[in-house]
Homo-oligomer: A and B are copies of this chain.
Amino acid sequence: MKKKAKDKDARLPKVFVLRWGHRHRDQRLTSHVALAARALGASGFVMADIADNKVRETVEKVTARWGGNFSFEMGGPWKQVVKEWRTKNGVTVHLTAYGENIQTSDVMQRIRATRKDVLVIVGSQKVPGGFFSEEVSDFNVAVGNQPHSECSSLAVFLDRFFEGEELSKDFVDNAEMKIVPQVRGKKVVKV
């Protein structure tokens, strides 16, 4: 049973998240985006162009306590991250309110049909125009064509990409603690 689940995972494309445009005043927001990436099935997070140890500490502390394999990198120039990703034959998805609507278009099917690993690019409100070009994004995807948040957009994208299965994912590898779901109250056990 466990073996089967692993084999299945091995076939699933991996998703990494590239955060563009982080500023120190965004510490809490960027931490939330990274934690959403981890909890919703992404394999790692790259904070481009800038290093922020506060964010790194928050994310690494959560991963150390609650487990799973989630990589965290920061500081690399975004163009280089995108270039290397494409060299490795992955596709890039830019989340933007201006893109193809994830609900009313077939963009998710087309992304899945590539069967490739995905780098999801999330920016702040004003990203360089180049993000929309073929040099950067294979797909421009809108989680609805209304402005909201990179954190909420990413969450819905991942939930749909993984078809909800990410939420039953087992994080016990390397975990210290595990939550046991309850109708009321909190239950946490050591792993």
Q: Count contacts on A: residues with CB < 8 A to the other chain.
A: 63
A166–B143 CA distance with the chains assembled, in angstroms: 10
**Contact of A97 with B182 in the complex, beta carbons under 8 Å:** no
Instruction: Return the contact of A186 from the options B32, B98, B134 (Cβ within 8 A).
Output: B98
**Which applies to chain A's interface (DSSP): helix, strand, loop or mixed?**
mixed
Closest residue to A182 on the B side, CB-wise? Answer: B98
Q: Which stretch from A1-9, A47-55, A73-81, A150-158 is at the chain B interface? A: A150-158
Q: Please tell me if A115 contacts chain B, counting CB pairs below 8 Å.
A: no
**Contact of B101 with A148 in the complex, beta carbons under 8 Å:** no
Q: Which residues of A contact B (CB under 8 A)?
A: 25-26, 28-29, 32-33, 35-36, 38-40, 62, 66, 68, 97-105, 129, 132-134, 137, 140, 142-149, 151-156, 159-160, 164-169, 171, 178-188
Q: Could you give 13 example pairs across A and B, Cβ below 8 Å?
A: A26-B28, A39-B144, A39-B146, A66-B146, A100-B181, A103-B165, A104-B167, A105-B181, A140-B184, A144-B169, A149-B151, A156-B156, A156-B167
